[in-house]
Every structure is written in structure tokens, then in C-alpha cells.
Amino acid sequence: MNLLGNILWLIFGGLVSAIGYFVSSLALALTIVGIPFAVQTFKIGLFTLSPFGNDVIPEKTANQSLATIMNIVWILIGGLWLAIVHVVFGLLLSISIIGIPFGVQHFKLAQISLVPFGKRIIKK
């Protein structure tokens, strides 16, 4: 079921979203300051390629304070807007019964798009 969901996800916009995340990751990597953010956008892009069967969990790191500071910067720069877009798409897709599984994936993407530092993607 996860394979079918991921294939449908890619056909109906997931691939375009992932390419957008990868292009923004490349643009961020061109600057020294943007490299930590490029890593996070690349992580979100990989998650966007196959959200079915994957989950986002908090990761315990020694640099939790740094992750919090980086998340605040991320939210101010554009993470809030990314999360809002995913929540809106999640709500729109959840209107129909067929779209509910895709809406749930957008809600997972909103979670990692809002605060990507200190999060890890795992297979279910």
C-alpha cells in the first residue's frame, strides 16, 4: 500500500515538490552560511519523495540548544510559510475520503517543514 501511495504521490505533485526542495537546497549550499539549511531542505526533499511508510521523530542530540536556535532562524526565514502551505494542502485534500491519506502526508510534511533541526526520518 505504501508503494502505491508513494507512486500516486509522485505523479500528483510530490515529484515537483521534491525538485523544488532540491533546487532550494542547491541554492542554499552555494553560501557558507546556508549549508546547515541546505542539509535540512535536502532532508525534507527526500522525505517528500516517499512520505508513505516514513515518519518524523525527534532526535536527541548534544546540541539541542543549537537546534532550537537554528529552528527559530528557519521559522523566521521561511519555515512558517512552508508549514502553512502544507497545512492548507492537507486541509484541502482531507475534504474528500480519497484525499485523506494524502492530507495526512502533508501534515507530516508541515511538521518537519516548520522545525527540521533535531528531527529524523525513519521507516515505519
Give yes or no for residue 61 having a pLDDT over 80.
Answer: no
Q: In this predicted structure, what is the pLDDT of residue 92?
A: 96
Q: In this predicted structure, what is the pLDDT of residue 31?
A: 92
- Taking the whole predicted model, whether its pTM rises above 0.85 is answered as yes
Contact 46, 10 (CB under 8 A): no
Q: Residue 124 — very low, low, confident or very high, per pLDDT cuts 50/70/90? A: confident
Give yes or no for residue 111 having a pLDDT over 90.
Answer: yes
Burial environment of residue 49 by CB neighbours within 10 A (0 to 12, 13 to 18, 19 or more): middle
- Domain count along the chain: 1
Amino acid (one-letter) located at 102? F
- Which are the contacts of 56, defined by CB distance < 8 A and separation ≥ 6? 47, 108, 111, 112, 119, 120, 121, 122
- Which are the contacts of 84, defined by CB distance < 8 A and separation ≥ 6? 110
Q: In this predicted structure, what is the pLDDT of residue 63?
A: 82
Give yes or no for residue 110 having a pLDDT over 80.
Answer: yes
Give yes or no for residue 59 having a pLDDT over 80.
Answer: yes
- Which carries the bigger pLDDT value, residue 64 or residue 89? 89
Domain span holding position 82? 2-123
